[in-house]
Amino acid sequence: MDNSKTVDKNVPQPKTGVMDIATYVPSKSKVPADVTLHKLSSNESPIGPSPHAVAAVAESISKMQDYPDGSSTQLRNAIADVQGLNAENIICGNGSDEILGLLATTFLANGDEAIFTEHGFLVYRIATLAAGATPVVVKEDDCKADVDAILAAITPKTRLVFLANPNNPTGTYLPIEDIRRLHAGLPGNVVLVIDAAYAEYVRRNDYESGIEMVSGNSNVIMTRTFSKIYGLAALRIGWAYGPRPMIDALNRVRGPFNVNAAAIAAGTAAIQDKVHLEHSIAHNDEWLLKVTTALEALGLKVTPSVGNFVLVHFSETAGKTAAEADAYLTKRGFVLRAVTGYGFPNALRMSIGSEEANLGTLAALKKFLS
């Protein structure tokens, strides 16, 4: 973007790329005052956090005068124990968003390129531009990442490839064989970032979160989050598993106390509560199928999803647009996510919520479409 005619050189200016960033717009959460809010716009857990995580937070706030452990040692050890990993290969962050930003800051410079797919997470573009690098967007194949298209976009300037698996907002995924083929085609100096924020929800035999890929290679890193299935979105906890040299580099860039004490305590308790995790998985398994089946019965197209949300497409030929549906639902307290910014101007993303929220949304959509 050429700002040469409008830039005042007598005042501080952000570096190249920053003003090309479209400000991230969170999902809305307001409805008319006289209706009950059912927020299905942020892929949050309808089950909520583990009671053990809640108790851990309550205990942690009695020591608010103390700085947290700058290395998140307790949390990294808990993750390592549950996942069967080496804690030295784990870094924790203020949400996985921070880690994605750290990866861009660490491995991208002015003139470098980062690749991601056309319906990929908006943070990939933000992190790339903020680092002064160039985003390279490749087409998907029917809402699914296209390995050949990604490989065709590789140039000598490529330094990062961001791949959400499963992807948000589409809910699609790549089988592990496709991930291996993608990695095999990358130069050794290109980092493959596997963003597995929704890994715990996937029930497919050909899916792997990325742990195996990291363990066997020097240029792969996997990011994860506690915001989704663990129900800790408010505390902002993310982590990544990567080769030791890569983790060492990221630790040199991150802030010294980037994860707060309450988050460390809650994350540690949450990942150890397997009963609560299985309860959350079971709820999603049941309602993902029910919601998808019901939406398709209404005549709506639903992109097959393995996450905790569905992408619902509306038909302009039938005179029913996503914007109209969004307004209709919001007026009745059901808030879904408009995904125009992701390249879907006539679709809404619906998170799997509580039974009441799911059934209420489906009933409201039936009336809207009738």
Q: What is the bridge-based pairing of β-strands 347-351 and 337-338?
A: antiparallel
Domains in the chain with CATH codes: 18-48+275-369 (3.90.1150.10), 51-273 (3.40.640.10)
Is residue 180 within 8 Å of 213, Cβ to Cβ? yes
Can you spell out the DSSP letters for 121-173?
A: -HHHHHHHHHTT-EEEEE--SSSS--HHHHHHT--TTEEEEEEESS-TTT---
Q: How many CB atoms lie within 10 A of CB 15?
A: 11
Q: Where are the alpha helices (DSSP H) in the chain?
A: 51-60, 73-83, 95-107, 122-130, 147-152, 176-184, 211-215, 244-253, 261-272, 274-297, 322-331, 355-369
The 10s digit of each residue's pLDDT in 311-358 is: 999 986 567 899 999 999 999 999 999 999 999 999 999 999 999 999
* Three-point CA angle 247, 106, 82, nearest 5°: 25
pLDDT for 27: 62
Residue 1 has pLDDT above 50, yes or no: no
Q: Tokens 């298209």 label which residue?
A: 149
What is d(CA 66, CA 342) in angstroms, rounded to the nearest whole number? Answer: 41
Band the pLDDT of 12: cuts 50, 70, 90: confident
**Which of 204, 355, 201 has the alpha carbon at shortest distance from 291?**
355
Q: Alpha-carbon Rg of the chain, whole angstroms? A: 21
Q: How many residues does the chain have?
A: 370
The 10s digit of each residue's pLDDT in 53-110 is: 999 999 999 999 999 999 999 999 999 999 999 999 999 999 999 999 999 999 999 9
**And the tokens for 203?**
């029930």
What is d(CA 290, CA 191) in angstroms, rounded to the nearest whole number? Answer: 38
Average pLDDT over residues 285-292: 98
The 10s digit of each residue's pLDDT in 227-236 is: 999 999 999 9
What is d(CA 350, CA 303) in angstroms, rounded to the nearest whole number? Answer: 11
Q: How far is CA 131 from CA 15, 250, 285, in A?
A: 9, 14, 39
Average pLDDT over residues 18-41: 79
Phi, psi dihedrals of residue 279, rounded to the nearest 5° = -65, -45
What is d(CA 72, CA 90) in angstroms, rounded to the nearest whole number? Answer: 10
Phi, psi dihedrals of residue 102, rounded to the nearest 5° = -65, -40
Band the pLDDT of 29: cuts 50, 70, 90: low
